[in-house]
Amino acid sequence: MKEMVEYSDGILIFYGNCGRPLRGLEVEFKDFNCPLYFLEDEKGNIVDDCISVALGGNDNYAEVMQSGNGTGMIYLTPMWASSWKEMRMEPSDTSDFNVSFLKRHYRKVVKISNEISMGSEFDKNVLNYARTYDMSIIEMKGSMEIAMKSYMNARNGICKKDPIQKSS
């Protein structure tokens, strides 16, 4: 990113707080003339992760998690649903898709769709995942609102024009 600062008027970080990788970024970039923008929920908090983005914010994500009443739920967006087989092939100590762990602790898969993710490929991937891990499917309508609002916020911040200076 530091290399891009020289060529950028602003950078939108399309990443949430997954594992806290963003901690310290603002401090690290404070001396650069390139503002950083983050994916934020309706309260202005950086979103927890891609699932929080897909569900419309951290509060919505927490509400969905609590609705499971202790039942383990895995959340699938089109990206996760399309790549879970490859991720399953990773060594089990690094994979989020450890078969014995998932079958023991998770019972439901939450299929999060949005206006661009509808389609038979997504449906098929989620169904295959649920069958592989013996899980039931819960369908939820997701949102692209956080991504769109964060993009517009960054664009508007970058595109602010200084008042035209008249020469005397």
Choose between 23 and 62: higher pLDDT. Answer: 62
Domain holding 64, by residue range, is: 50-143
Residue type, 143: S
Domain contains 164: no
Please tell me whether residues 101 and 114 are part of one structural domain.
yes
Q: Is residue 87 part of a domain?
A: yes
What does the pLDDT look like over 55-82, one tens digit per residue? 999 999 999 989 888 888 999 998 888 8
β pairing state of 73-76 and 11-13: unpaired
- What pLDDT was estimated at residue 99? 65
Q: Is residue 94 part of a domain?
A: yes
Q: pLDDT by residue (tens digit) across 78-111? A: 888 888 877 766 555 544 556 666 777 889 999 9
Asked, for residue 24, whether it belongs to a domain, the answer is yes
| Whole-structure pTM value | 0.77
Domain shared by 32 and 20, yes or no: yes
Quick count: other Cβ atoms within 10 Å of Cβ 117? Answer: 19
Residues 69 and 134 in one domain: yes
- The verdict on 64 and 40 lying in the same domain is no
75 lies in the same domain as 38: no
Whether residues 22 and 102 share a domain: the answer is: no
Distance from C-alpha of 126 to C-alpha of 123, rounded to nearest angstrom:
5
CB distance 82 to 123 below 8 Å? no
Residues 14 and 32 in one domain: yes
pLDDT at 86: 76
- Quick one: 84 and 28 in the same domain? no
Same structural domain, 43 and 57: no
Q: Are 27 and 98 members of one domain?
A: no
| Beta-ladder partners of 81 | none
Q: Both 58 and 39 in a single domain?
A: no
Give the number of domains in the chain: 2
Could you tell me the CA-to-CA distances from 90 to 51, 94, 129 in Å, in that order? 22, 7, 16
Share the mean pLDDT of the chain. 82
29/73 same-domain check: no
